[in-house]
Structure 1
C-alpha cells in the first residue's frame, strides 16, 4: 500500500513539475536562448540591452513583446526594479530590441513619436516600422514597456 501511495505522489509531483516548467520560458519571447553578456551595458538581439543576466527563452518574438501576459510582465517589472533589465524602462530601447528579435534589425534606430505610445523604428536599409507600446503594470518612469502592435511604414 505504501509503495502505491509513493508512486502516485511521485507521478503527481512529476506532472506538476512538468506543468510548471512548461510555462517558465515565456518571460521574454525573443528568438533564441542567450548567454550571460559581458559586463557593462550591451545590446542583444534576443533580450535587449542589459546590465545583468538575460532572461532566457527559446520562443520567437510574438506580440505583446517581451511580456506575453500579466505574470510575464510582473516578472519583467521585478527584473527592471532590481536593475538587471533597465532597458525595459525605455520605450525606444524596447522598440529597437523588438526589431532585432522579430526582424533581425541589429542596426535599428528608434524615434519616439509625440503621442508617447508609438515609436518609429528604421534600419540602415531604409525599412521602417511604427510600433505601439504600452505599460502593462506600473505607469510612468518606473514602469516597463511592451510592444503591442507593429505596422510597416
Structure 2
C-alpha cells in the first residue's frame, strides 16, 4: 500500500497533467477562433470562389475593399512569408485578383498610378475603377498588399 506522501505526489503529477492538457485545448480552440477556415486563399488564377456568370458592373461611387481583421492580416502575412501566395506582394496583381473575384472580370487591365493606386479597366464593358491599396502588416517589398477601397470612375 502506498504511503500518503507517495499518493500526494501522484495526485500532484496528475493535477499538473490535467492542467497542461486543459491549457493545450484552450490554446488550440483560441487559434481556431482567431483563424477560422485557415486554408490558404487561392491564387488569382486558381480561385475557387464562385464567379458570376456575367461581368458585374459596380455601381457609381465608392465601394469597400477587402475586409480583414488584424488577426487575418497577420495570418495572411505569415502565409506569404512562408512562400505561399507571392502575388500578394505585388499591388497590381492584388488589384487584378480583387476585380476578378469581386466583379467577375476576366483579363482586366491594370495601370499603377502610384504604388498605392491602381486604375483597373474591364475589357468587356470599359468600366474603369480606381483602387486604393495598402500594406497593413509590414511596409516594403516583403509586405502584403490589400485593397482598401475603390471608386468607379466610368
Aligned residue for 1:59? Answer: none
Supply the distance in 1 between the matched residues of 2:39 and 2:72 (Cα, whole angstroms): 5
Q: 1:133 to 1:82 in 2, by over 3 A?
A: same
Deviations along 1:8-54, one digit per CA (max 9) or x if unpaired, are: xxxxx8xx9599459514888xxxx86xx8xxxx713458xxxxxxx
Q: 1:84 to 1:20 in 2, by over 3 A?
A: closer
Contact 2:117 2:133 in 1 (8 A): yes
Q: CA deviation at 1:89?
A: 0.2
Deviation at 1:81, TM superposition (A): 1.0
For normalisation by structure 1, the TM-score amounts to: 0.62
Whether the aligned pair in 2 keeps the contact of 1:120 and 1:131 (CA below 8 Å) is yes
Q: Take 2:88 and 2:73, find their aligned partners in 1: how far apart are those partners?
A: 10
Corresponding residue number in structure 2 for 1:143: 143
In structure 2, runs of 5+ residues without a counterpart are 1-24, 50-62
Identify if the C-alpha distance between structure 1 residues 152 and 131 changes in structure 2 by more than 3 Å, giving closer, same or farther.
same
Corresponding residue for 1:96? 96
In structure 2, do the counterparts of structure 1 residues 18 and 141 end up closer, same or farther at CA, with 3 Å as the change threshold? closer
Q: Which has the larger share of helix? A: 2
Query: What TM-score comes out, normalization by structure 2 length?
Result: 0.61
Structure 1 residues 145 and 27: alpha-carbon distance in aligned structure 2, compared to 1, 3 A threshold? farther
The question of 1:132 aligning with 2:132 is answered yes
Q: Which 5+ residue runs of structure 1 have no aligned equivalent?
A: 1-12, 48-61
Detail structure 1 runs of 4+ shifted over 4 Å in the superposition.
16-19
State whether residues 117 and 133 of structure 1, in contact with CA within 8 Å, keep that contact through their aligned partners in structure 2: yes
| RMSD, aligned CA | 3.3
Matched with 2:120 is 121
Aligned residues between the structures: 115
State the 1:78 CA deviation: 1.0
Q: Indicate the structure whose relative CO is greater, using CA pairs within 8 Å and at least 6 residues apart.
A: 2
CA distance in 2, matches of 1:93, 1:109: 10
